Structure 1
Amino acid sequence: MDSARATKGERDLPEAEKRRPTGLGTVTAIFLLSLPLLILLFLFGDRAVVSIAGNSLVWQRAGVQSSGNTSSSPVNAHHDLLLGGLLSPDFDAATCLSRYEASKRWKTPSPFLVSPYLVQKLRQYESNHRRCGLGTANYREAMAQLTSGRNGDRAECRYVGLFCEPFPGTSWILPPDFPYKDGFWVGSSDSYLHMLENNVVRYDDSGGGGDANALPPYVYFHLEQIQLRLQNHTFCEEDHRVLDRFNWMVLRSDSYFAVALFLMPMYRAQLDLMFPAKASVFHHLGRYLLRPGNRAWGIVERFYDGYLAGADERLGIQVRLAPFLPLTFEVMYEQITRCTREHGLLPQVTDTSEPGARPSNGTAAKVKAVLVVSLKPEYYDKLHSVYYTNATATGEVVTVYQPSHDQDQHSEARAHNERALAEIFLLSYCDRLVTTGFSTFGYVAHSLAGLRPWLLMLPDRTTQRAAVACVRPASVEPCLHSPPSLVCRAEQDLDLVVHLPFMRHCEDVDSGGGLKLFD
């Protein structure tokens, strides 16, 4: 995300800005990939990171300098600048305004305590990155090794592809002269599976498996969902021991695979120390790692302060139609209103000829702001019309807002994705959330907030109606829609939920599928 300083604009956004398009795909894909990979780096040891975003490697210059200020005086009772120790105090705040400002708008503190061990691992990794990041002698040595076509034994620093700029005093974004930027796909010759199938790497201690110098200069690790199931040989312990011998790794994924790391006994002890509350993984690492740049943060600030801040209560409604299950507006709107009615999330309205109830003590009516986030404008239009035209039976004043909309997704457009990122954070600042099941966009928003949302269930394909409008999930963690194939283990056909107390099937995946972390 852009790190340029954003100028302060008017509090009220112009109408054209309020209704501009938003993108969902690229931003959430980066979010879901970034967090589990950071965990993987903790577990692999001294491995620094450079950036891969979406389907291409990218370079972006972002200057960061140390402020030397280690104080953290909260602005209000809930404004913990360093998020319980997750964030380093060693940034110049102006380079990324959201880093220390975002917590002002979360209404309540985090529901999860931060593990001291997790904080220790974060500071340790930041130190590793300062030793190995761009411009260091270690990085220049590693680049010379990479371009020579050899892996290099006993290297001090090792590297893997990712996206973001979270570490003080260094960068993890690829420079423009990085030699390998194209041609990565599931069947490419430098993929780990291809190497394994062609005996380039082996599990034993001979050949490529034993001598690090005999390995190729880098390995490509492909973790995209294939027919809604992650590949074989990606979450087996013997494979991770081989992968750990490479100094450079390029990874592509569209899945939140942190759940799968908890299936591996070799990592369990450290993960337990970092995350004693299993449902806190995305919540803590998301707040640590995923920081809107100043352009995107400017959208958040202006919209929140201009439309949402003054409300007594904020309800976020996120609507995402799954491509594999197209639904009409009428069907989806009925399900949304059924959910909000059954759970008391929105007040009922009176007939237009009847006045609403009034507070008996002479106080002002309670104001509830509804934030609608959708590619489509119809949901906002309908809800706005209902509460503009009719009084509520409770006397509440309901205001409805939609920051942007577009009929289609345009994840190739940077401004489009910045608005999507802003809307994820705006949703996370709501007090209660209604999100669409199976939507990664919704997962990120409610996980950042630490809120269990009301999940809109996928309707029956035949009747086009959900028997239950919405349910509250067991935890705030995102769902891994396609559990990994565990061909390396005898228990591959067992139901992991039965054997692991911290696993649950996802509420929004058909036939009890998917996996999520749970306490």
Structure 2
Amino acid sequence: MDGSPRLAGRMRLCVGLAALRRDVWLAIFWVILVAFFILGILHRAQVSAPFSPHALDDAKFSLPQRPPKNGFPRSPGRERFVTTQRDVFLGGLLAKGINIASCRCRYEAVKYRNPSSYKPSPYLLKKLRNYEDYHRQCQPFSHGYNNAIPSLLSNNGNTKTSTDCKYLLYTPVYGLGNRIITLVSSFLYALLTRRVLLIDKAGSFSNLFCEPFPNSSWIIPEDFPLKNLYFNRDDPHSYGSLVKEKGNLSSLPSFVYAHLESNYGEEDAKFFFEEDQRALQEVTWLLIRSDIYYAAGLFLNTDFQPELFKLFPEKAVSFHHLIRYLLHPSNKVWDMIVRYYETYLSAGSETLGIQIRLIEQYNVPFEAVSEQVLNCTFKENLLPETAKDSAQKVVEKSKKKIKNVVVTTLFPGYAEVIKNMYLEHPAASGDLISVHQPSQEQKQVMGNELHDIKAWTEMNLLSFSNALVTTAWSTFGYVAQGLGGLKPWILLRPERSSYPDPTSCYRDISMEPCFHQPPKSLIEKMTSGGDKVARYVGQCIDAEGGIKVYDLEI
């Protein structure tokens, strides 16, 4: 009987402990349940939140490390590097804050194009950010733009405007390569003269590119007072005609057309000279049409030189920096570029680009062009020799490398020659050669949207190369080498009376385009002005009589 109360107490204690354990486990269960509920809400909020462009402001993409690309010769002082971190904004060249959905190429191109070792100058970056602010303040339908329109309507040199905005109107002509190099020239001119660059939407040209400037447009609006922007060199509004008529530059109208096509006259060519540029600085609306890389001529203007030398301490990279800043494939074009690359080129460890441009009037036999391409690529060690007989040993490799060859040309057959050569005889290096030609349009169709999309796609694919072979005089090749930061090997084109030496290809002196057919007066200035004028401008390798920008050490 004495143990009964003690036993009862123990029983009550056990029951209490059991209840306590039950309550603790129940509390833990509810805490876990509430935690999962909160995490679910946060996850749904994160997924549904719109993309903020500032989320990538300081981002660098981490990419799988690619194999070292040792198969192609490197330019002196131009070592490419492999990195797991790729700078999305190209060393500050690209502005931050543009929504990725509006232009995916801006954020994704670093995954496909080899990094550039040419760093933009701090002064160029500052100049670009200042230009973007200026463009935004003066873009179509802004207060400054609306205040400038009356001077365009009156076209009177005495019309005063209450705006600081001045404009460079650009209208594209001829093939896509010509249009791109002249657009980049026009943007450089706009930077130098503090003008807002606006482009004509004529045709499909503007559909190929993303808007380059944050929170603003560079398209001339549809209600622009001038409905037809196509003027000829003899038009009363052209600068050449005004020079002939006035004989002095004291009172230019508020709208002037500068004719910078290769058929310009000497009066038109005065555009490049110092006194004329000072007069044009007072013009509110300047329209330019061109088919040449006239930017090289700006380097001969002594008024522009101090600014140009601060923008580009390395003179021969101006086109490389500006085209990468300005021109990004639209999402429609970018989708085609990525699909082609991922389908055909992604397995390769390195890529050789070959661009073949045939000039119809020369009527060069197919065999002669093929021989020239093969001899050039073998001589410069851009393609490996083949093992053509059983006695010639093929290097055995535990893991064979795939080397891509991308051939771009309007005509079929050239890619097949290279492809069949390596199918019939293995590469003596032991590598596998994968040959591709994205299109074969047969003829150039200017202003056709689909044709231009294919051309712009191929220019970008060539720019992903580690080494590049181009054809003399080809603006198509100029665009690819500028985007990729590549000094190409140039296939010389035939003269009217003879074919070129089958082995004739030469390494270019810079990646800058050639200024074809510069005016006689500009050449005279270059040759008579001494080092002060012409120290960074010289003769082109690929185009007789042409001039281009290069660096002294080259």
CA distance in 1, matches of 2:532, 2:474: 26
Counterpart for residue 410 of structure 2: 375
Greater percentage in helix: 2
Structure 1 residues 434-513: aligned runs within 5 Å: 434-466=469-501, 468-486=503-521, 491=525, 494=528, 500-510=534-544, 513=546
SS of 2:87's equivalent in the other structure is coil
TM-superposed CA distance for 1:419, in Å, is 1.1
Q: Which amino acid aligns with 1:179?
A: P
For 2:357, which of 320, 339, 359 is the aligned residue?
Answer: 320
| Counterpart contact for 1:228–1:482, Cα < 8 Å | no
CA distance in 2, matches of 1:326, 1:514: 27
| Counterpart contact for 1:79–1:104, Cα < 8 Å | yes
Structure 1 residues 91-106: aligned runs within 5 Å: 91-106=98-113
For 2:96, which of 89, 100, 103 is the aligned residue?
Answer: 89
| Counterpart contact for 2:315–2:549, Cα < 8 Å | no
Counterpart for residue 74 of structure 1: 61
Q: Aligned pair in 2 of structure 1 residues 293, 334: CA closer, same or farther (>3 Å)?
A: same
Q: Does residue 198 in structure 1 map to residue 245 in structure 2?
A: yes
Q: Does residue 517 in structure 1 map to residue 523 in structure 2?
A: no
Q: Does residue 347 in structure 1 map to residue 355 in structure 2?
A: no
Counterpart for residue 7 of structure 1: none
Counterpart for residue 274 of structure 1: 311
Counterpart for residue 26 of structure 2: none
Q: Does residue 173 in structure 1 map to residue 219 in structure 2?
A: yes
CA distance in 1, matches of 2:401, 2:266: 47
Q: In terms of Rg, which structure is larger?
A: 2
| Counterpart contact for 1:311–1:367, Cα < 8 Å | yes
Q: Does residue 111 in structure 1 map to residue 148 in structure 2?
A: no
Counterpart for residue 407 of structure 1: 442
TM-superposed CA distance for 1:295, in Å, is 0.9
Counterpart for residue 419 of structure 1: 454
CA distance in 1, matches of 2:212, 2:323: 11
Unpaired segments of 5 or more residues in structure 2? 1-50, 64-82, 171-198, 200-205
Counterpart for residue 124 of structure 1: 130
Q: Which amino acid aligns with 1:159?
A: Y
CA distance in 2, matches of 1:229, 1:74: 51
Q: Does residue 398 in structure 1 map to residue 433 in structure 2?
A: yes
Structure 1, residues 133-176: CA drift from partner, whole Å, max 9, x if none? 12312222222432344453253211111346210101010111
Counterpart for residue 187 of structure 1: 234
Q: Aligned pair in 2 of structure 1 residues 416, 119: CA closer, same or farther (>3 Å)?
A: same
SS of 1:198's equivalent in the other structure is helix
Structure 1, residues 331-379: CA drift from partner, whole Å, max 9, x if none? 111100110111111122234778962525xx22121111000000110
Please provide the CA RMSD for this pair.
Answer: 2.5
CA distance in 2, matches of 1:202, 1:338: 56
Q: Aligned pair in 2 of structure 1 residues 490, 153: CA closer, same or farther (>3 Å)?
A: farther
CA distance in 2, matches of 1:377, 1:337: 16
Q: Does residue 158 in structure 1 map to residue 166 in structure 2?
A: yes
CA distance in 1, matches of 2:267, 2:547: 12
Structure 1 residues 43-82: aligned runs within 5 Å: 67-69=53-55, 70-76=57-63, 77=83, 79-82=86-89
| Counterpart contact for 1:504–1:518, Cα < 8 Å | no
| Counterpart contact for 1:308–1:369, Cα < 8 Å | yes
Q: Which amino acid aligns with 1:67?
A: P
Q: Aligned pair in 2 of structure 1 residues 499, 171: CA closer, same or farther (>3 Å)?
A: closer
Structure 1, residues 229-265: CA drift from partner, whole Å, max 9, x if none? 9942110111111111111111101111111111011
TM-superposed CA distance for 1:323, in Å, is 4.0
CA distance in 2, matches of 1:125, 1:141: 19
Counterpart for residue 365 of structure 1: 400
Q: Which amino acid aligns with 2:421?
A: V
Q: Aligned pair in 2 of structure 1 residues 66, 128: CA closer, same or farther (>3 Å)?
A: farther
Q: Which amino acid aligns with 2:165?
A: C
CA distance in 2, matches of 1:83, 1:449: 13
Counterpart for residue 141 of structure 1: 147
CA distance in 1, matches of 2:530, 2:359: 27
Q: Aligned pair in 2 of structure 1 residues 73, 501: CA closer, same or farther (>3 Å)?
A: same
| Counterpart contact for 1:367–1:398, Cα < 8 Å | yes
Q: TM-score, normalised by structure 1?
A: 0.79
| Counterpart contact for 2:375–2:503, Cα < 8 Å | no
SS of 2:152's equivalent in the other structure is helix
Moved more, 139-148 or 238-247: 139-148
For 2:288, which of 248, 251, 259 is the aligned residue?
Answer: 251
TM-superposed CA distance for 1:100, in Å, is 1.9
Q: Aligned pair in 2 of structure 1 residues 125, 238: CA closer, same or farther (>3 Å)?
A: same
Q: Aligned pair in 2 of structure 1 residues 460, 132: CA closer, same or farther (>3 Å)?
A: closer
SS of 2:282's equivalent in the other structure is coil
CA distance in 2, matches of 1:497, 1:349: 48
SS of 2:405's equivalent in the other structure is strand
Structure 1, residues 300-337: CA drift from partner, whole Å, max 9, x if none? 11111111121012111100013453311111111001
CA distance in 2, matches of 1:472, 1:229: 33
For 2:334, which of 297, 314, 317 is the aligned residue?
Answer: 297
SS of 1:79's equivalent in the other structure is strand
Q: Aligned pair in 2 of structure 1 residues 202, 229: CA closer, same or farther (>3 Å)?
A: closer
CA distance in 1, matches of 2:267, 2:405: 37
Structure 1 residues 328-339: aligned runs within 5 Å: 328-339=365-376
Q: Which amino acid aligns with 2:233?
A: V
Q: Which amino acid aligns with 1:190?
A: H
CA distance in 1, matches of 2:311, 2:359: 34
TM-superposed CA distance for 1:402, in Å, is 0.7
Structure 1, residues 382-425: CA drift from partner, whole Å, max 9, x if none? 22222223322222111110111111001221111011111101
Q: Count residues with an aligned counterpart.
A: 440
Q: Which amino acid aligns with 1:91?
A: I
CA distance in 1, matches of 2:123, 2:320: 16
Q: Aligned pair in 2 of structure 1 residues 443, 229: CA closer, same or farther (>3 Å)?
A: farther
Q: Which amino acid aligns with 1:338?
A: N
Unpaired segments of 5 or more residues in structure 1? 1-64, 209-214
Q: Does residue 385 in structure 1 map to residue 443 in structure 2?
A: no
CA distance in 2, matches of 1:356, 1:424: 37
CA distance in 1, matches of 2:120, 2:548: 23
SS of 2:459's equivalent in the other structure is helix
TM-superposed CA distance for 1:277, in Å, is 0.1
Q: Aligned pair in 2 of structure 1 residues 400, 140: CA closer, same or farther (>3 Å)?
A: same
CA distance in 1, matches of 2:261, 2:477: 20
| Counterpart contact for 1:497–1:504, Cα < 8 Å | no
Q: Aligned pair in 2 of structure 1 residues 128, 406: CA closer, same or farther (>3 Å)?
A: same
SS of 1:74's equivalent in the other structure is strand
SS of 1:161's equivalent in the other structure is strand
CA distance in 1, matches of 2:372, 2:530: 32
Moved more, 135-144 or 444-453: 135-144
Bigger relative contact order (CA 8 A; separation at least 6): 1
